[in-house]
Amino acid sequence: MVNSSHEAMHRIFQEYPGLFTGVSKVLGLPFVPPKRVTVLPTDLTEIQPVERRVDTLLRFEGDEPMLLAVEAQSAKDTNKTASWAYYVSFLYAKYKTPPILLVVCQDRITAEWAAQPVPIGPQWWASLTVRPLVAGPHNMPLITDPDEARADLALAALSAITHAKDPAVGGILKALSTALQNVPEAVADPIIEFTAQGLGVNRPAGELWRNLVAVDLSFYKSYISEEIRDEGRAQGRAEDIVLVLEARGLDVSDEIRERVTGCDDPDLLRDWLTRAVTVSSAEAIFTGDREGA
């Protein structure tokens, strides 16, 4: 479904348009929940060959119709403010509906930069002022209560994503995994995946979430859940190989340890574990590996 932190930060609003209702409450906005929400095309390209795309675009219909443009921002980008001004102006001109720009961030510095109003025009008269609405670690709640997470799973997932770099994210993830335990698989699977991708695979929070899914949500069979459990099994088997070699008194060099723990091929790890029981040296577990392994 999604394959990066950037995608998760904005596409979760496509999957759960009602998420903005929860965000608006957190931010103290007088937002009236819509009667209907439509996901609109994100291509804002003009006739001229200059492509401009907003990350996610929603139309809220009801007593107060509006457009919601969601942008995921991972760092400061001085060129973005001009793009955001274009998005807001273009959307208003095309749809004749008031637009709001929501910028989702994962660090306070980027969030504070994105939240600054940008006046466009001479100092004495701004013809247009861009005022992005920002959701980030500075204002998104730390949802560490499973009941609170269960009440709004999408908001809990966004809480985890925006706090991905916060040491307190562990409490959010545990609350979310607990809240998902009695949720139908069709509901839980997208939340599991958005959270996993939003946290990022190379961050400690991402590894923690994968472990929680493997333990707390082991009965789910989605692609991301299976992938998470496969990674956990591979890591466990790699640790078993090293443990067996060391228990037999064999010298396990740093190079061998890194090769074993860095392998994610379950079949190869199984072969190494089998050999680890009988080999005369740690290096010998690699003897007979297929070409390119």
Which residue has tokens 């609003």?
13
Tell me what pLDDT residue 58 has. 96
Mean pLDDT of 128-152: 95
Extract the tokens encoding 212: 């929680």
Which residue has tokens 């990066």?
4
Tell me what pLDDT residue 266 has. 78
Tell me what pLDDT residue 1 has. 58
pLDDT at 123 over 90: no
Burial class (CB in 10 A: 0-12, 13-18, 19+), 50: exposed
Mean pLDDT of 38-56: 79
- Structure confidence at residue 291 as a pLDDT band (50, 70, 90): very low
CA distances (Å), origin 245, targets 197, 234, 259, 283: 35, 17, 14, 10
Which range, of 94-103, 145-154, 269-278, averages the lowest pLDDT?
269-278
